[in-house]
Amino acid sequence: MFSLILPPARRYSILIGFWLALSLFAGITLGAILSLWASPTLMTLGLIAVPVLALPGLLWPQVANLPYEVWNKLAREFGRYSRAWLMAICFYVIVVAVGRSGSSLRLARPDSGQSLWVRRQDPSGARNGFDRVVAVDESSKSWIRNFLKWSARSSNLWACGVLPFLVLISALDPEQDNTVPKDIYTLF
């Protein structure tokens, strides 16, 4: 899913693109609100507002610098709180509900002298946890497809219920394809 964070680089073209996008979104939203509250014909007013709003950013792209920064900060904060909310839903709603059906893990205290070591079932080795789940089919670039394949193959169909939340969390990830690794230096 597409990230909600804007690219870190602020090239003129990106600033213009941002300003146009914001103008378009503001114009359409304004038109929709006016058409709902007053008259449907006022939708055109919102559309007329789009080029008017877009003009400053087209003429002076640098005016978009501050709004760009503020918008990205808001997006990051929104992403941070939303991820926490989604995680809470997963843990306190889905996992709790699924937990009612019992567990295949032995969670009770063992008898004296009895080992809790379990023979390893999955020989596919090198990867762990979520990486192992989404890398079921190396040829597929879609982690969602791999996740579905894993849940079907391993009889964990219940995990499909978590999938929409994982998709949303990934879309709210601030690191997703938009940020430059920290402490990297460019190529000299």
Binding positions for other proteins, rule: CB under 8 A: 2-14, 16-18, 20-22, 24-25, 29, 71, 74-75, 78-79, 82, 85-86, 89-90, 93-94, 96-98, 100-102, 155, 157-162, 164-165, 168, 171-172, 180-181, 183-188
Question: 96-104 contacts: CB < 8 A, separation 24 or more?
Answer: 98/158, 98/161
To other proteins, the closest distance from the beta carbon of 58 in angstroms equals 11
Q: Radius of gyration of the chain from Cα atoms? A: 24
Question: Least distance from C-beta 44 to other proteins, angstroms?
Answer: 20
The SS3 of residue 148 is helix
The smaller minimum CB distance to other proteins, of residues 42 and 94, is found at 94
Q: How far is CA 61 from the centre of its chain?
A: 28
The smaller minimum CB distance to other proteins, of residues 39 and 131, is found at 131
Quickly tell me which residue has 């596919």 as its tokens: 124
Residue 40 CB, shortest distance to other proteins, in Å, is 22
How far from the centroid of its chain's Cα atoms is residue 94's Cα? 19
Helix axis angle for 65-89 and 12-37, nearest 10°, is 70
User: Which amino acid is located at 178 in the chain?
Assistant: N
The residue among 115 and 141 lying less far from other proteins, judged by its C-beta, is 141
Q: What gap in Å lies between CA 97 and CA 102, rounded to an integer? A: 10
Q: In angstroms, give the least distance from the CB of 71 to other proteins.
A: 7
Closest CB to other proteins among 39 and 97?
Answer: 97
Residue with tokens 């990867």: 127
Closest CB to other proteins among residues 38, 163: 163
- Supply the minimum distance, in Å, between the C-beta of residue 57 and other proteins: 11
- Joined together, the tokens standing for residue 131 give 């990486």
Cβ at position 27, least distance to other proteins in Å: 12
Using DSSP's 3-state secondary structure scheme, residue 104 falls into coil
**Residue with Cβ nearer other proteins (55 or 96):** 96
